[in-house]
Amino acid sequence: MEELELYVHIPFCIKKCDYCDFLSFSANAKTQKEYVDALIRELLYYASRLKDRKIVSIFIGGGTPSWLDYNLLVSIVDVIKGNFCVAEDAEVTLEANPGTVVKPAMESYKKAGINRLSIGLQSTSDKELKLLGRVHTFEQFLKIYDMARECGFDNINIDLISGLPYQKIEDFMKSLNDVIRLKPEHVSVYSLIIEEGTPFYDKFKCDDDKQHAGMRTEALPNEDEVYAMCKMTQETLKKAGYLQYETSNFAKKGLECKHNIGYWQRKDYLGVGLGAASLIDNVRYSNKRDIYDYIKATQKLDLYNNIHETVQTLSKQDQMEEFMFLGLRMNNGVARDDFEKNFNIPIEGVYKLTLDKLKREGLLEQNQGRIFLTDKGADLANYCMSLFLLD
């Protein structure tokens, strides 16, 4: 059976964080219930059409899925397990935020078959959490983390953000070391991006421009400090026994996130819910982004699928570019055999000049049938990726 990954989007959050541009917002219990009903209609629609696919990973993300009434959340998992062919060893991840989970909820998640938690912490400093507009403290994070362990979760990711406004290198290192002491199986560290349309954009746009121009700014760490945080993250996590397997992701051996690796390997995935994206047989779909349009569309799904906002059939060229961009984000890069299997042509047949150039510049290496960026190449990833564009 052909494999498929499943992503389920829950767009609700208690309150919007000041840096966030994800598709998420607050909503009352009635809207949440109507949304889950719509989500279930969409799931059932696909379950009957994708009977020949085996679900190898499920990721329930958001938003803050753990803010949803846990009975509703469990009903979503039950519908998936009852109607799709789900692999016995499927990785089932739930994104959870501190301050949103009570013990009976945590127990129900475990019982329902959720076997991996991804907890949004971002910083262990309450001052930084407040600045980010997060609704929780570090103390509340520790409560949810301990609760998860007590309930038997043995695969937990913790998210951190580096390069926060007014953050010194030692502030970030304190957060990182606090997290390492907790011994999670997986750590994700993202650099802050000032996104348009967020309160952070209004506050820090000028500083952001200065930072990118290599200048000193009042509020944001300069480029050298951001780079130093990135390098220290890699060294510190390596020393603590974590393998870096992608730009922002570190895991104990064998506990890499299978779902995300699937994205980077261009495995097919079905995204269900508001604004969710799918890639099936090299067609990329993305769902409607307005919640009322989405709910309405799911009521007519049996007649024809009008739930998508965009549909894009990827050309061979698009597929090859994506294969390289996504694959080279991973530390072990891409397999030459996979390229040939996917495109019926050896990788040199398409990218010989690029591969030779990057090798000459010390930015790329080949070993045991794999092609990957060197440390220097990873530092210059944007430049390297630009050379894989085929126009």
Binding site for ligand SF4 (CB under 6 A): 13, 16-17, 20, 22, 24, 62-64, 97, 120
Q: Choose between 12 and 109: whose C-beta lies nearer to ligand SF4.
A: 12
Smallest gap from residue 61 Cβ to ligand SF4 (A) = 9
Q: How far is the CB of 122 from ligand SF4 (least distance, A)?
A: 8
Q: How far is the CB of 384 from ligand SF4 (least distance, A)?
A: 29
Compute the distance between CA of residue 41 and CA of residue 298 in angstroms, rounded to an integer.
6
CB closer to ligand SF4, 63 vs 221: 63
Alpha-carbon separation of residue 351 from 316, 336, 354, 358, 390 (angstroms): 14, 11, 5, 11, 9
Q: Which is nearer to ligand SF4, 57 or 97 (CB)?
A: 97
Task: Indicate the angle between helix axes 103-112 and 70-83, nearest 10 degrees.
Answer: 0
Looking at the Cβ atoms of 24 and 115, the one nearer to ligand SF4 is 24
Is cis: bond before 63, omega within 30 of 0?
A: yes
Cα–Cα dist 354/205, whole Å: 35
Decide: 32 and 70 in contact? Cβ < 8 Å.
no
Rounded least distance, CB 13 to ligand SF4, Å: 3
* Chain position carrying tokens 């954009």: 201
Q: Which is nearer to ligand SF4, 63 or 165 (CB)?
A: 63
Question: Please, which residue, 9 or 210, has the CB nearer to ligand SF4?
Answer: 9
State in angstroms the smallest separation of the CB of 10 from ligand SF4.
10
Choice between 96 and 270, CB closer to ligand SF4 = 96
- Beta carbon nearer to ligand SF4, 16 or 284: 16
Min dist CB 154 to ligand SF4, Å, is 24
Q: Nearest distance from residue 362's CB to ligand SF4, in Å?
A: 37
In this complex, which beta carbon is closest to ligand SF4, that of residue 58 or of residue 132? 132
CB of 97 to ligand SF4, least distance (A): 5
Q: Tell me whether residue 130 or residue 253 sits nearer to ligand SF4 (CB atom).
A: 130
| Cα–Cα nearest to 313, from 266, 262, 279, 350 | 279
Shortest reach from residue 243's CB to ligand SF4, in Å: 26
Question: Shortest approach of ligand SF4 to residue 160 CB, angstroms?
Answer: 13
